[in-house]
Amino acid sequence: MAAADMGRRRQIRTYETVALYRSFSVYSHHQAAHTWLPSDNCGTIYKKTVLILGTGDIGSSLAHRLKAFDTSIIGFRRHPNHRALPDFDEVIGSDQLDLKLKTADIV
């Protein structure tokens, strides 16, 4: 895959995360109807706990971008090792996944 395509995928994943959490689809409907109504379920990802399934190129890039929102980042790898990964506060394996799924705000 070309580097430009990977860069676009990383940006899209970041946008999708923010868009889903901020309910952008609600605002899109409001815009189409030419109305401005605040959404009750609009949240922020600031200071949330994010669980990223995969710590490869895309997961690492997403972690880096979400750190700008002062999030706590947990990365999941099938075979975690004990070396630290930049932008991940914690890296877990399968044995901890169920517990972390319950405590994460965003997966």
Cα 18 to Cα 23: distance, rounded to the nearest angstrom: 8
pLDDT digits (tens, 9 = 90+) for 85-101: 899 999 999 999 999 99
Give backbone dihedrals phi and psi of 90, rounded to 5 degrees, phi first: -155, 145
How would you classify residue 82: left for phi > 0, otherwise alpha for psi between -120 and 50, otherwise beta? alpha
Least confident window among 66-75, 76-85, 88-97: 76-85
> Tokens 């189409």 sit at which residue?
32
Is the pTM above the cut of 0.85? Answer: no
